[in-house]
Structure 1
Amino acid sequence: MTKKSMIIRGIGIIIGAIAGYLYYFYVGCASGTCAITSKPLNSTLYGALMGGLIFNIFVKSPKRF
């Protein structure tokens, strides 16, 4: 794992966490029965996970011969 790939994944996690919290704040769950969006911690962690996975697409893997 190179330093560049770690930075890209880290940026994805941070952006995802911010997006997850903003989703909780502006959309959220009025009834409190939603598993992900009922609490800010759940929404933030889920956003961080999704951001890390999405930004992982942009990391180039080494070619194997």
Structure 2
Amino acid sequence: MPRQSTTHQFDLFSNPQDPETAQMPPWRALPEETRLTLTKLMVRLILDHVDGECAVQREEADHDA
């Protein structure tokens, strides 16, 4: 028998009026600690992404030489 999941994955591309879709809570409704943690994680994700693009550009430049 398959295990029932107790968590919900937010579907960013679904119809928000669909009752089957888990609704994201409003940002201000989240506890301050959660907002701070999410903000730090998003900043790290963005900076890691930018750093990765810089590394790819450096590698491409090395291949041109």
TM over 0.5: no
Pick 1 or 2: higher relative contact order, CA cutoff 8 A, min separation 6: 1
Q: TM-score, normalised by structure 2?
A: 0.41
Structure with a larger share of its residues in helix: 1
